[in-house]
Amino acid sequence: MKQQSLWAVPLGGLGEFGMNMLALRYGDDMIVIDAGMMFPEAELLGVDVVIPDITYLKQNRKHLRAIVLTHGHEDHIGALPYILRDINVPIYGTEYTLALVKRRLEEHGLLDDATLRQVKTGLKIEIGAFEIEYIHVTHSTIDCAALAIRTPLGVVIHTGDFKIDPTPTDLLPFDLHTLANYGKEGVLALFGDSTNVERAGYTPSERAVLPRLEELFRAAPRKVIVSCFASSIHRIQQVIEVAGTVGRKVGFTGRSMVNNVELSHALGRLNIPDGMVVRPQDLKAFDPKKLVVLMSGSQAEPMSALSRVAVDNHRQLTVDENDTVILSSRIIPGNEKPIFRMIDHMFRKRALIYYEDGGRAPIHVSGHASQEELKLVLNLVRPKYFIPVHGEFRMLFRHAALAQQVGTVSGEIFVIEDGQPIEFTEEGAYRREKVKAGRVLVDSGSLEEIEEVVIRDRQHLSEDGVVVPIIAIDKHTGTVEGSPEVVSRGFLSADDGQEVMAGAREVVVRTMAQSNPEEMADWSVIKEKIRVDLKRYLNKQTAKRPLILPVILEV
């Protein structure tokens, strides 16, 4: 009999932020850990979300038993609505994680066909050849877990996203004991979160923001607006408590903020005292000296609540002189320009703005482990093999170097990227031939993926514009009727372009005149000839390469 082996196949989250997805396969059984998305870079014009390429999962669909979720952040659950159409398997997760998943699937009309199975931390579940224990970890949202996956070859631990918070606001500490027990028993492989590996020391506790929030609330001359990630339930709880302490009421605005607060309150995970909440329609008229408003939009997303408030385009709220605005979240790399543009708008209104600036007391703390916490996990787990996950390549590399420094990994440390499988056998662990992996681009208002060629066309249009030559041809005689029209957008201004466009019309006339009757009868040939001749002419005249779309009208 062929010796059985365990395969780990990363399909997303290695070499980028977000899109986290890892497949584990033993024999005929395969599970997938997380199914995340990421937001597009600026050059991906018109793209809404980016999700992992799941070609490998489709090819092995008959072996796939379940998707196992570590927690409910978008970079771990956001791809589910897009991939469940192709691979509808049971989804396992904690209570809050599944509540968020339900909401996402409901929006896409997929909830009725989905199989959701709730898991509690500390309990074990069996899926095919795998026995999985959910281990409670602390992070920037609630109900987060690491996974201990027992396989016939040994235990694999996947940390999920975590930090080690000694004083969590919900009094549920990181379960270091269970992690240490697995370490004593022996761990085959550890897949560890690398997001904050570049930060020395320890990540401060969630409670570290409390003193600064209270100080700013007490000093605020008028209303206080706090913007944080809508999933930061611990932070929202602290804002509610501080508001109560200083005698202020709380309002909520922004779709994701209102949804998450309602969901968390319904599940008993957010404590809001009776009579504490101001309804959205009452915010404008409420005494500003007695008001705190929690809202989404800290990353200056277009049309988010905070972005609209900044430019006076919000129905329920305005930012006025001496209002206090607190951005209690990190500035995600790549979002700096829109965030600072939004902050500038509020400074123009003479508001008092506070954001992450390395001050003495933080108004935001990360949800990811810094170097000393990562060392602690490596010391407790003492794995045979170590694979850094979640982060750009430099972070994976630095996490590997950190593990080397700690010295508790007895076997090899693998720095790999998406699509690079590792095979574990009784003899050792080996890199295997890459599988198809990468990014799938999803357009706004659609579940359909976009081809790379479409993005190239959009970039082309955004840089050099479009030129549309319009030719009227008599369908009976094949002769050109009148003078061709050449229309352009985003190419040259009306004044600068008159001479060039007149020349472009002459090029079209000349091309038509030099074409024989057979070419004139085949419009695809004529269009291509016009496109080639115009491209050559416009490039020579302007050094630009606009997109040329010839249009032939039958008359």
Q: What is the pLDDT of residue 241?
A: 96
- 193 as an active site residue: the answer is yes
CA distance 150 to 144: 19
Nearest Cα to Cα of residue 389 among 153, 133, 75, 123: 75
- 368 as an active site residue: the answer is yes
**Mean pLDDT in the chain?**
90
6-201+366-450 topology per CATH: Metallo-beta-lactamase; Chain A (3.60.15)
Q: Which pLDDT band holds residue 3 (cuts at 50, 70, 90)? A: low
Domain ranges of the chain: 6-201+366-450, 206-354, 452-554
Tens-place pLDDT, residues 175-233: 999 999 999 999 999 999 999 999 999 999 999 999 999 999 999 999 999 999 999 99
Does residue 319 have a pLDDT over 70? yes
Of the listed ranges 108-117, 223-232, 275-284, 303-312, the one predicted with least confidence: 303-312
Tens-place pLDDT, residues 151-167: 999 999 999 999 999 99
Q: What is the pLDDT of residue 1?
A: 31
Of the listed ranges 55-64, 350-359, 386-395, 397-406, the one predicted with least confidence: 350-359
**CATH number given to 206-354:** 3.40.50.10710
What amino acid is encoded at 275 in this protein?
Answer: G
Q: What is the pLDDT of residue 59?
A: 95
**Strand-pair partners of 252:** 294
8 A C-beta contact, residue 356 and residue 331: yes
- The residue written with tokens 């005292």 in the block is 273
CA distance 23 to 179: 22
Does residue 358 have a pLDDT over 60? no
Q: What is the pLDDT of residue 487?
A: 85
What architecture (CATH level 2) is domain 452-554? Answer: Roll (3.10)
What is the DSSP track for 156-220?
A: EEE--S-B--SS-TTS----HHHHHHHHHH-EEEEEEE-TTTTS-S-PPPGGGGHHHHHHHHHH-
Tens-place pLDDT, residues 227-264: 999 999 999 999 999 999 999 999 999 999 999 999 99
Q: Among 71, 368, 390, 399, which one carries the catalytic annotation? A: 368
Tens-place pLDDT, residues 16-68: 888 999 999 999 999 999 999 987 765 555 567 889 999 999 999 999 999 99
Does residue 458 have a pLDDT over 90? no
Is residue 49 packed enough to be buried (19+ CB in 10 Å), middle (13-18) or exposed (0-12)? buried
The reply to whether the predicted model has a pTM over 0.85 is no
Q: What is the pLDDT of residue 356?
A: 78
- How far CA 200 is from CA of 250, 399, 425, in Å, comes to 36, 12, 35
Is residue 536 packed enough to be buried (19+ CB in 10 Å), middle (13-18) or exposed (0-12)? exposed
Does residue 136 have a pLDDT over 50? yes
Q: What is the pLDDT of residue 516?
A: 78
Secondary structure element (H or E) that encloses residue 446, with its range: none
Q: What is the pLDDT of residue 522?
A: 72
Does residue 499 have a pLDDT over 50? yes
Q: Among 75, 165, 193, 464, which one carries the catalytic annotation? A: 193
Counting residues of the chain whose pLDDT is more than 70, the rounded percentage is: 92
